[in-house]
A and B are shown apart, each in its own frame.
Chain A
Amino acid sequence: MLSIEFLLNALVAGLLLGGFYAALSAGLSLSFGLLDVVNIAHPAFILFGSYLTFYANEHFGFDPVLAGLIFAVPAYFVGVAVYKIYYNSFEKTGAESLRGLVFFFGLFFLIEVILIITFGVDYRLVRAFYIGKSTSIGPVGIAYRLFVPFLVGGILSTVLYLFLTKTFFGRAIMGVAQDSLAVQLMGVDPIRIKTVAFGIGIATAVIAGSLLIIIGPVEPTIGREYIGRVFAVTVLGGLGSMTGTLVGALILGVAESFTSSFFGPSWALAVSFGILLICLAVRPSGLFGR
């Protein structure tokens, strides 16, 4: 049972899963980690992306990842609109803490209902040439169905990291996250910056949705399964750190995989959240937190 081959396969499966978790959490890391917007509806936007991907795949034969990238553009504008409503209704009046949370809860259920009415409650899946196929590197097997989300998740995290650290606009977002007033004194409108950042967060959620439906079937309420996990990844990695989100996601993925492989899958979630609790006790700001 404890062969090197088995160990390597468990490690690789965990890393692949972690890459997927990173993609799911990247947008939340922007909105919650950097902007302090508790977007509890983030998994619903992910699922919305899954359904848009399903539609494009089913009716036009689009590759799921390509569909996700295409729909990310209109999703950005949806995100911009959502943030404007949120800002004008709650943040501007200082009522964002509780009422804002209720707003995003409401949005979560609204998206679910829209999906139910539009697509029905049946399970939806996509087809792509790489789904159901796998390859081997030495003794390690890699399923393309998991490798594609890993790859896209890794690229997404890297692009966001480079955007936030190397571009003027990205650094402005980081500036708003650190000291909104200071940014304002420099002549930059923090609300505009936050609006753009939130829009990017929703766009990444839609891309993550295309990865979710590659891995398995979706139904309109499946987003609820991911609320805990995406917030756990963001908090474990450290609020506001894209590197932290990626590392946190990989840690949770590997922990789940190792637990499933060596101790039984029923312990997987308990171990993942146990790691989160230990991390918060030892380092409350998360692994790469500010």
Chain B
Amino acid sequence: MGRIIRHVILGFALLLAVSIAFTPAAHAAKEVKIGFSMALTGPLGPAGKAALLAMQIWRDDVNAKGGLLGRKVKLVYYDDQTKPANVPGIYAKLLDVDKVDFIVSGYGTNLIVPALPIAMERGMVFMGLFGLDANAKFKYNNYFQIMPAGPDPIVDWSRGFFELAKKQKPQPKTIALLSADSEFARNAVAGARRNAKKYGLKVVYDQRYPFPGTSDFTPILRAVKAAKPDLFYVGSYPGGSVGIVKAAHEIGLEPKLFGGGMVGLQYTAIQMNLGKLLNGITNYWFWAPEKTLKFPGIEAFLAKYQKEAPKQKLDPLGYYLPPFAYAYVQLLGNAIEATKSFDQAKVGAYIRNNTHSTVVGNVKFGKNGEWATSRTFQVQLQNIKSNKMSEFSKPGKMIVLYPEDFKSGNLIYPYAKGK
């Protein structure tokens, strides 16, 4: 009898041990792993970390509702340090070692392009976060990019700037082009160059500046001023954007329309530092607290983001990248739910063939996985009176001028009048 009891106890102990040993693995198997590289340090680190927070908010939102098809979402990510060379290794590890179920891109064209061949080779759905025409050469049909640049991204990116210029009387005749010597900025200005030709503008200055490595923009802007352009289109990164805005004020550079493709003017820290110097600048924008841009879920998302961002020392308002970082995983999650499948081909086909409701509005993909219709806003900064954060968190400061469907005010023209 004692022997039987001993065997029963031993049996229970073994059962318990086995269940303990296999429980985490069983849980792990139930998770949906989404893998990606992200610029958490380096020049794109500030935006990359904000994007990560947005993705974590989405993960928590989804998991609070029970996950995707009953499986909890887990984000698996590594810092690519804003170095394209790190990206292929990270995605190989994500797929071969971490065995993730889905991959999405890191932030920015330079960091998306090195991952695309891997996604193609493995037949993975690949959501892109702010790549400018990254899929132009690959033409991969399961790549979908969330930035609303449009079907011909390089040209559509600056179309609004030129459309606004075209409507002015007398019509501008000349343009100066300046870009940082990096892929995104070069592409943005290449599109502006094509638009300049299309809209019949004479290019009177067309140069690139070393990026990184330019400390002072005064000599460059003096050369621009000497060329006397009607329009000044700039493709720059945050450090350069600040230097260019300050130098333009210091030397009194006053083209009739100034801005275009300047990254960084959308960041709260930079807005608070530049304050009134931003008035009159017309630049691309993706979201602003204007009444015409109240998409479903955006305010709830921003409330969560703005609560957490100061603790992590991130952009406190988060209007630029975070809503789109939330949207690109939201869209993927919705596609998984809609197809009731984790099959890459089925999910890819669903994303390709449907319109998706997200926190950044309705998204429909077209050629090369870009938005079927461009929705890059042209915004003019107006009525900024101080350097306080509250200046930038309310309507009436970042006026949407283009496209017409989202217009929230009128252009103050020329730039000098809006300063």
* Residues of chain A whose beta carbon lies under 8 Å from any beta carbon of chain B: 1, 3, 6, 9-10, 13-14, 16-17, 20, 112, 116, 119-127, 131-134, 141, 143, 145-146, 215-217, 219-222, 224-225, 229, 256-258, 260-262, 264-266, 268-269
Contact = CB atoms under 8 A, between A and B. Distances in A.
B249 A146 contact: no
B273 A146 contact: no
Given A6-B222, A127-B273, A269-B210, A141 B250 contact: yes
Contacts of A123: 46, 238-239, 242, 264, 267, 269-270
A268 B41 contact: no
A217 B239 contact: yes
B186 to A, nearest CB: 11
B313 A119 contact: yes
A-B residue pairs, 6 tightest by C-beta: A120-B313, A121-B45, A265-B209, A143-B250, A125-B273, A134-B250
Interface stretch (B152-160, B211-219, B290-298, B369-377): B211-219
Given A258-B219, A260-B209, 7 more contacts: A3-B226, A119-B313, A120-B46, A216-B239, A216-B246, A260-B219, A261-B222
Contact of B269 (A6, A125, A258): A125
Contacts of A260: 209, 219-220, 223
Contacts, number: 146
Contacts of A125: 242, 269-270, 273
A17 B46 contact: no
Given A14-B219, A221-B41, A132 B387 contact: no
Contacts of A269: 210, 213
22 contacts: A1-B227, A6-B226, A9-B219, A10-B222, A16-B218, A17-B215, A116-B45, A120-B46, A120-B49, A121-B49, A122-B314, A123-B238, A215-B216, A216-B215, A217-B270, A219-B43, A222-B239, A257-B218, A258-B219, A260-B223, A264-B208, A265-B214
Interface residues of B, number: 46
Interface string B182-217: 000000000000000000000000011110111110
Residue picked from A9, A120, A127, most chain B C-beta under 10 Å: A120
Nearest to A268: B210
Contacts of A257: 216, 218-219
Contacts of B49: 120-121
B238 A217 contact: yes
